[in-house]
């Protein structure tokens, strides 16, 4: 949701449909965003250009500059498909584009993005267990926290009381490293954790806006569950979705963690959002274990829940 109230939705976890981002209009109809061309990628069509289309939409955010930023995790072996795409909400056109092939590893899964207080640095999570720090001015990027215990998954992923199957045979379980990231409202701390949960860590980035976030600066903040997504409010409280208990946890800046709401409808909540009217938006992505891995099953619902504060000033336009 933009500062002016425009709403955007992304379709994920389909093996048959092309990536789709849509704008939800006031009459509840949708239109492809920013246009049909960006949503037209077809892996079986040799003329389909992965550098100018969404290949695998993994995250989206309204940045402090007012742009709608899309994280395209891309596809292994498809050059130019992994990228950060910035859409100007005034012109409704892509006017910022950063390709990440040169910084990612062979097993990288670039998944989400947050921004520094200056708006000059983008932090992107890499589920292989690392953090990509991108200078939006120079386009220079570095991959840090590689092989760090704080960025690694130590426990199996849980979903609604069961272990989530992995992709390495019948007895494997899903292991996803650094996935969720947030930046404190004052821009001083960067928080991150693996998707499998266990540890939510924070590091002081206020003096390191050049992008070099080192493991030596990381400190544990709270224990967390298997997690679909996070968001942060204007008071610095972090909201963590619990894929096992189908709940939302609230973690204060001091590290106190409590369950805010629990409901069977909160199936793998992701891409959460705090709106100006003090509501926590909860998209239930419907991801669930299946024969082909984690697949979504519709219909998809977006719920809201009242909270005590509005959005972080550097997390929204």
CB distance 187 to 170 below 8 Å: no
List the beta bridge partners of residue 239: 231, 250
pLDDT digits (tens, 9 = 90+) for 80-95: 999 999 999 999 999 9
CA distance 200 to 198: 7
Residue where the block lists tokens 């980035």: 205
Which pLDDT value is given to residue 155? 85
Max CA pair span of the chain: 52
Q: How confident is the model at residue 68 (pLDDT cuts 50, 70, 90)?
A: very high
CA distance 87 to 141: 20
What's the distance, CA 48 to chain centroid? 26
Q: What percent of the chain has pLDDT over 70?
A: 91
Closest CA to 236 of 173, 196, 181, 189: 189
Structural domains of the chain, ranges and CATH numbers in brackets: 1-102 (no CATH), 116-317 (2.120.10.30)
Which pLDDT value is given to residue 216? 63
pLDDT digits (tens, 9 = 90+) for 219-247: 889 999 999 999 999 999 999 999 999 99
Which pLDDT value is given to residue 215? 58
Residues 6+ apart with CB under 8 A from 254: none
Q: Write the Ramachandran bin of 293: left for phi over 0, alpha for psi from -120 to 50, otherwise beta.
A: left
List the beta bridge partners of residue 131: 125, 144
Predicted TM-score of the model (pTM): 0.92
Evaluate if residue 261 carries a pLDDT over 90: yes
- Neighbour tally for 167: CB within 10 Å: 11
List the beta bridge partners of residue 163: 158
pLDDT digits (tens, 9 = 90+) for 114-164: 999 888 999 999 999 999 999 999 999 999 989 888 888 888 889 888 888
Which is it for the CA torsion 21, 125, 64, 274, positive or negative? positive
Residue 216 phi, psi dihedral angles, 5° rounding: -60, -20
User: Averaged over 42-69, what is the pLDDT?
Assistant: 91
Evaluate if residue 281 carries a pLDDT over 90: yes
Evaluate if residue 185 carries a pLDDT over 80: yes
Q: How confident is the model at residue 293 (pLDDT cuts 50, 70, 90)?
A: low
């Amino acid at each position: 949701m933009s500062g002016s109230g425009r709403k955007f939705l992304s379709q994920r976890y389909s093996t048959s449909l092309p990536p789709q981002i849509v704008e939800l209009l006031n009459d509840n109809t949708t239109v492809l965003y920013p246009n049909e061309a960006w949503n037209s990628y077809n892996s079986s069509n040799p003329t389909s250009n992965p550098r100018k289309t969404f290949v695998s939409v993994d995250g989206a955010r309204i940045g402090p500059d007012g742009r709608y930023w899309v994280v395209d995790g891309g596809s292994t072996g498809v050059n130019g498909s992994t990228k950060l795409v910035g859409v100007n909400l005034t012109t409704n056109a892509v006017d910022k584009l950063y390709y990440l092939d040169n910084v990612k590893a062979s097993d990288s899964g670039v998944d989400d993005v947050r921004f520094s207080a200056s708006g000059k640095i983008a932090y992107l999570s890499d589920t292989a267990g690392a953090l990509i720090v991108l200078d939006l001015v120079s386009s220079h990027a570095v991959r840090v926290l590689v092989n760090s215990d704080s960025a690694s998954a130590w426990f199996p992923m849980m979903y609604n009381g069961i272990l989530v199957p992995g992709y390495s045979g019948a007895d494997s379980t899903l292991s996803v490293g650094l996935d969720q990231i947030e930046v404190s409202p004052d821009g001083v701390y960067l928080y991150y954790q693996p998707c499998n949960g266990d540890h939510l860590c924070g590091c002081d980035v206020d003096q390191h806006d050049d992008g070099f976030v080192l493991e030596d600066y990381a400190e544990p903040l709270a224990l967390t569950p298997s997690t679909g997504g996070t968001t942060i409010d204007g008071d610095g409280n972090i909201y963590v979705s619990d894929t096992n208990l189908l709940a939302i946890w609230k973690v204060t800046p001091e590290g106190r963690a409590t369950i805010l709401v629990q409901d069977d409808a909160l199936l793998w909540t992701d891409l959460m959002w705090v709106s100006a009217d003090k509501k926590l938006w909860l998209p239930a992505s419907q991801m669930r274990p299946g024969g082909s891995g984690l697949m979504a099953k519709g219909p998809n619902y977006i719920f809201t829940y009242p909270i005590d504060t509005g959005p972080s000033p550097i997390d929204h336009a």
